[in-house]
Chains A and B, each alone.
Chain A
């Protein structure tokens, strides 16, 4: 009976602290007013505590023919777009990237011109490079 109550309490705690089951998803959307092929220069804004994701994003965008610079300072005024991102990491035996959202923005207004998101839980985890590739490819798939 005591075991049963312990298990019950544990399950109650899990049910109260977690937000639901997990799935995989990959999406991309582009604003109808945006023309991604016209964006030739971009600045990837590095977030604090990021070691490598920003370089992976920059490299992937270069493969799309974009001239890319990056850094943690404010974007220079002469770029066509600023790229921001949010990466979420999770631990399951090893650390892995759970979710990545990349947004391409108008440098003057901060307006999100295009966004991509990938979410992969542990069993279908992807490497950070694969996550970046999936998100950027999904963004360009939706472009004019």
Chain B
């Protein structure tokens, strides 16, 4: 009994360590997905409602994902910080509605340097007449190396957050090129 215990204890310790290091994934963080220091010279005097779809929650056995509420919050934060629109509204009473659909997400399974590729579909609609002001596919990628994080799950999350940040930045810059 003592011998069995002595043999299994190291194995259990190793398993616990592996779970701690690799573990299972955590979702992309909304703050880390928000582009920082995004400079946009245009400031529309309108209110905006943001809607997101196509994202997924990060399950206990899954790799990191971007959830719809987190993507929405990251876009809203970026709009507020850049002052692209005057206000963000919830519900259906905004001057414009921005719909961002996560269309595809390509994540690596194994490796040292992780690159995540992302594509989103951005649609900006004027609420009063339902006219479409912008309809655009936005493609981005994000990379994280061993220098960023040792644990693979953390590195993947960082690459995912970088891809999302890049995507939001490109999308908002495309909106800023319009004349609303």
Query: A residues bordering B, Cβ < 8 Å?
Result: 4, 7-8, 11-12, 14-23, 25, 27, 29, 31-33, 86, 88, 90, 98, 101, 103, 105, 109-112, 115, 117
Contact = CB atoms under 8 A, between A and B. Distances in A.
A90 B114 CA distance: 17
A21 B104 contact: no
User: Which DSSP category, helix, strand, loop or mixed, fits chain A's interface?
Assistant: mixed
Closest 10 interchain pairs by CB?
Answer: A15-B22, A15-B21, A20-B63, A20-B25, A112-B103, A19-B156, A21-B61, A11-B18, A20-B153, A115-B103
Interface residues of B, number: 46
B141 interface: no
Interface of B: 10-11, 14-15, 17-18, 21-25, 53-54, 56, 59-64, 99, 101, 103-104, 106-112, 114, 119, 121, 123, 132, 135-137, 146, 150-153, 155-156
B152 A32 contact: no
A98 B103 CA distance: 18
Given A25-B56, A29-B101, A31-B123, A19 B17 contact: no
A106 to B, nearest CB: 8
A90 B109 contact: yes
Contact of B119 (A19, A20, A27, A112): A112
Nearest to A110: B137
Given A8-B14, A17-B110, A117-B104, 13 more contacts: A4-B14, A12-B17, A15-B152, A16-B152, A19-B114, A20-B62, A20-B63, A21-B61, A21-B62, A23-B61, A29-B54, A31-B123, A115-B104
Contacts, number: 116
A115 B54 contact: yes
B103 A18 contact: no
B36 to A, nearest CB: 25
A103 B119 CA distance: 11
Contacts of B132: 33
